[in-house]
Amino acid sequence: MSNLNFIYSLEYDVKNVLDLISEIDWIREHRYVVMMPKGITLDNLTEQTKESLAIKVGEEYNHEIYGSISTDMKTRWAGLRERLNRTILDMKRTFETEYDVYLTKYGFVGSYELPNSIIINITQRSSEQMIKTIVHEIVHLAIEPLIIKFGAKFEQKEKIVDMILEKNFPELVATQQPKNDKRAEDIFNKAFPNIEQVISEVTSLN
């Protein structure tokens, strides 16, 4: 059964802010909201040095809060992982034996990196929101090889993950969904759990 390995540190928080510099254009294009240390914005981020960011992040860092959240998430995960395991195996995808979950106050709400890394933002978020994001990102990781194979657009892959969660985890609140997605829903309802067919057909939509 899969375990969550929570990782957090002052150094990681600093790195997470620095990494946003290379993504500024993408963030603006997709109108994403990203969390920053107090006094830092997308407009002045590139003016910062690693040293100046380390000072600002250090003023806000609280190791105990991260520890408390990781304990809470492990408890909530115990009630979800078996069902998520079945969902992923039904799609004939891989459920990793361990996921590295990086906790941070900065950057995106959530993101993922193959094969098993997840980044979760804790800023102004409830336990329910954070565990939902963890499940969301694990589903992303499971289907990402097929997303790459078929060249799914950003909005398409988000819609596909939302549909998987809505069917298998209805208690988890859905994320914001793209408009005009009735065709994608029809494809999903007919083909799921054949997720390769779902992704192939959804990505072929104009």
In this prediction the pTM is 0.89
Average pLDDT for consecutive 10-residue bins of the chain (206 residues)? 92 94 91 92 92 95 96 95 96 97 94 96 91 96 98 94 93 59 93 98 90
Q: What confidence score (pLDDT) does residue 174 get?
A: 52
* Secondary structure class of 206 (helix, strand, coil): coil
Task: Specify which residues 120 forms β-bridges with.
Answer: 103, 110
- Domains of the chain: which residue ranges? 3-203
Q: What confidence score (pLDDT) does residue 173 get?
A: 60
Tokens 């067919």 -> residue = 197
Q: What confidence score (pLDDT) does residue 42 get?
A: 92
Q: Check: CB of residue 94 under 8 Å from CB of residue 146.
A: no
Q: What confidence score (pLDDT) does residue 180 get?
A: 54
